[in-house]
Amino acid sequence: MKILTVCSTGLGSSFMTQLNIEKALKQLGVSGVETDHMDLGSATPNDADVFFMGRDIADSGQGLGDVVALNSLIDMNEITEKVKAALERHGVQVPGKE
Amino acid sequence: MWLYEILQGGKVLEEFLRPGAVLYEDNVEGWQQAVDEAAQPLLDAGTIRPEYVDAIKESIAKPGGTYMDLGSGVALAHARPEAGVVQTSLSALHVGQPFLLADDPDHPITTMFCLAAEDANKHLSLMQALATFLSSEANQERLAKVSSSQELESVLTAVEQ
């Protein structure tokens, strides 16, 4: 399974979101999920199973497939909850711990 | 690979925040002024060229430019390295009265970081430190209450990563 974070430049906001998603995966006790960040213009549906991005560019990203819109890129509660849901959607086992 | 586990520890934020690069204003006239003020210390230090500031403003003004809003009133102003970055560096501006990113009422901002990333790899440790710092609710609360540049500096640098 692969999660890609996307923003307009592919360097700042998306990178920060990737780091926070890795933190969430660690907190959830899930390993083996690949993560990366990229700019919206370069991302293609084949690049990942799930695409995380800020709510304002989520409409432009709809063609990518499974798109998750984040209200905040630094709210660990929201990120952890949405990562967990995405993992479950794609059949990845999430151990019970937070 | 767990990027998050690389480069744990160390006072990375302090290392990249240039002296005089932490600013406070009671008020700004709008997001353009906030970008100008936040970027000025990096311009003065020569770590960015003036066209980098223009590129940030162009990005924000474009549709979807509010991607720089990280949430909790924090914005990360940045553009591509080729837009005019000389050296990886960071500055920060806190504004007492929130301003609206891209004039959008959905995006009130009180803290704007200006990030200059030399390339995609060199800013790894800086981004990691910033992500660790900003994803803490306690730090978000501390940041929101800042009322001087000295206070902003102590919030940003006194925290052990």
Chain A residue with minimum CA distance to B106? A56
A77 CA to chain B: closest CA distance, Å?
Answer: 10
Report, as an integer, the average pLDDT of A76-82. Answer: 97
Q: Which residues of B touch A52 (CB under 8 A)?
A: none
B42 versus A12: which is more confidently predicted? B42
Q: Judge whether residue A61 has pLDDT over 80.
A: yes
Report, as an integer, the average pLDDT of A18-41. Answer: 94
Residue A88: pLDDT band (50, 70, 90) is very high
Percent of chain B with pLDDT over 90: 65
Instruction: Please return the burial class of B150, using the count of CB atoms within 10 Å of its CB with bins 0-12, 13-18 and 19+.
Output: exposed
Percent of chain B with pLDDT over 70: 88
A71 CA to chain B: closest CA distance, Å?
Answer: 7
B residues 63-92 near A, CB within 8 Å?
A: 63-72, 74, 76, 78-81
Mutation target among B67, B90, B140 for the A interface, most CBs of A within 10 A: B67
Report, as an integer, the average pLDDT of B7-18. Answer: 63
B112 to A30, A54, A80, B69: CA distances (angstroms)? 33, 17, 25, 9
| pTM, 2 dp | 0.89
CB atoms closer than 10 angstroms to residue B128 = 23
ipTM for the predicted complex comes to 0.86
Position B109 scores a pLDDT of 98
B61 versus B159: which is more confidently predicted? B61
Residue B11: pLDDT band (50, 70, 90) is low
